[in-house]
Structure 1
């Protein structure tokens, strides 16, 4: 099974210099919790609703601050035709809850989340293992 079979299509993204407020409004409007962050059409990070709370709100950062200040960099991306099990093992190893999925031109086309693995994959045992590992404390 390939990632394109289980991913949630997501075509929304945010620019590196757009504000946290812009991001929050986009997340609300599209009912999503993660945005790929782009610079010159290249993915340079991701911004999650959790990033906004723990790195933004909790630190008292001005909502007009660019998302580059609070985003998560070093993003793991996978291609639409990559194997679901390999992607799940990566999520497990690195304790990643979401993977950005790109096409062969490196354009962001979707997201694979733990929920996608659990509800759209025929490998329910695997999704349970990944959830257990990702949920382990890192400290």
Structure 2
């Protein structure tokens, strides 16, 4: 089974120049916890709800004044739409991430793949193995 068969589409994305407040609003309205950060149609990072919470700790300024670039995790780990689910799950485990932006042949964001997508649409066993590696202390 290939990633493109079970990935979530469309993937909602943000720009590094967007405010963190706009990201919170988008995440809340869509019920999601991650946004690939894209500049000039290329993934430059990833923003998670955890990134936003940590950014607020000790901040004197509000999220409206804080650009996503200041709080995102740069250099997101991505997979390809044509990758197998097993390869994507291994990538998740190796890099200890629960979600991967999925790229098309041109390197643009085509979707998003989560451990939950793997569990629901492909294999609970494979998702469990990936989650075990993700949670492993290294």
CA distance in 1, matches of 2:97, 2:44: 16
Instruction: Name the residue aligned to 1:18.
Output: 18
Gaps of 5+ in 2: none
Matched, 1:57 2:56: yes
CA distance in 2, matches of 1:59, 1:47: 19
CA distance in 2, matches of 1:5, 1:87: 13
**Deviates most, 29-38 or 18-27:** 29-38
Instruction: Name the residue aligned to 2:67.
Output: 66
Gaps of 5+ in 1: none
How many residue pairs end up in the alignment? 136
User: TM-score w.r.t. structure 1 length?
Assistant: 0.91
CA distance in 2, matches of 1:115, 1:133: 15
Matched, 1:44 2:44: yes
CA distance in 2, matches of 1:124, 1:40: 36
Change (3 A) 1:29 1:74: same
User: TM-score w.r.t. structure 2 length?
Assistant: 0.92
**Deviates most, 110-119 or 8-17:** 8-17
Let me know the Cα RMSD of the aligned residues. Answer: 1.3
TM-fit CA distance, 1:136: 2.1
User: Structure 1 segments of 4 or more deviating over 4 A?
Assistant: none
